[in-house]
Amino acid sequence: MSEKFFDLSGQVALVTGTSRGLGQYLARALARAGADLILTSRKRDTLSEFEQEIRAMGRKVLSLELDVRDHASIQSMAQQAEAAFGQIHILVNNAGCNVRKPALDVTWEDWNLVLDTNLRGSFFVAQAVARGMIARGYGRIINIGSVTSVFGFAGLAPYGASRGGIRQLTMSLADDWGRHGVTVNCLAPGWFRTEQNKVLYEDPEWVAYITDRIPVKRPGQPHDLDGAVVFLASEESRYVTGQTLLVDGGISTGATRATVARK
């Protein structure tokens, strides 16, 4: 173990879905902690600017194409990553999508898109990367969930199902792979402004409504996730596995849902 807590120097981290949004923030936090990075996106050219930023931090970086709905793409990505770096110590399963609709309007295609991307994709990426981790006896897998992993929200049926599945998947994989030195945890953000939900943040009434439900009285900022992702990626989390860490400002407590009654 490093003498410095949460030091990821010499570690290689693979972060999926890093062309924009929270994926970039999570990758940036790992790089600041010392990790070299493998970035992925369905279109490699969308990673070029971010790759330069990471390289300017003094980190080694590799960009690879990955479509998490394509099993061959997953296998190819994992093989290229292992060949380039020799090993992967950390996986952040971040790639995801959402379809925001009333449940009665959700189509077969909507359901398949969200579940195939968020849940099936996360499993098979984890499986592909875990083979090397298990062979070497060490690994940190961080599945990105959501507050919807534990609470239901109207208009998010496929998304909530996929994120709830991520929580259950995390526990199953933790039990399966713990004996091999591989921990598996779920990092579950609350309400953060992302590309997937930016339309909501354009509505002042919705922002006021959701802010009132958050005990710390503000939506999340990307840097609020830095400490959590670095901790789960580090040696210091060696005895933490199968857990869902909610970084949500306390909205999952439900404490502010009785606002009217408390006034």
Domains along the chain with CATH numbers: 12-194+221-248 (3.40.50.720)
Give tens-digit pLDDT for 79-135: 999 999 999 999 999 999 999 999 999 999 999 999 999 999 999 999 999 999 999
Catalytic annotation present for 159: yes
Q: How far apart are CA 100 and CA 98, in angstroms?
A: 6
Dihedrals φ, ψ of 194, to 5°?
-135, 175
Residue 142 confidence (pLDDT) above 80: yes
- What's the pTM value of the predicted model, to 2 decimals? 0.92
Residue 256 confidence (pLDDT) above 70: no
- Contact of 187 with 143, CB cutoff 8 Å: yes
Residue 14 confidence (pLDDT) above 50: yes
Q: How far apart are CA 208 and CA 187, in angstroms?
A: 25
Dihedrals φ, ψ of 123, to 5°?
-65, -50
Cβ neighbours of residue 122 closer than 8 Å, sequence gap 6 or more:
68, 93, 95, 143, 166, 169
The active-site residue, picked from 25, 138, 159, 201, is 159
DSSP-assigned beta bridge partners for residue 246: 188
pLDDT-derived band at 151, boundaries 50, 70, 90: confident
What's the pLDDT score for residue 47? Answer: 96
Task: List the structure tokens of 64.
Answer: 């690879």
- Contact of 17 with 95, CB cutoff 8 Å: yes
Residue whose C-alpha is closest to residue 122's, from 180, 184, 61: 184
- Contact of 249 with 190, CB cutoff 8 Å: yes
Q: How far apart are CA 218 and CA 210, in angstroms?
A: 8
pLDDT-derived band at 262, boundaries 50, 70, 90: very low
Give tens-digit pLDDT for 197-248: 667 777 788 788 888 888 989 888 889 999 999 999 999 999 999 999 999 8
Q: How far apart are CA 17 and CA 77, in angstroms?
A: 13
Sheet with strand 61-65: strands edge to edge: 61-65, 36-41, 12-15, 90-93, 139-144, 182-189, 244-247
Residue 253 confidence (pLDDT) above 50: yes
- DSSP three-state, residue 142: strand
The residue type of 220 is: G
pLDDT-derived band at 3, boundaries 50, 70, 90: low
Q: How far apart are CA 40 and CA 186, in angstroms?
A: 20
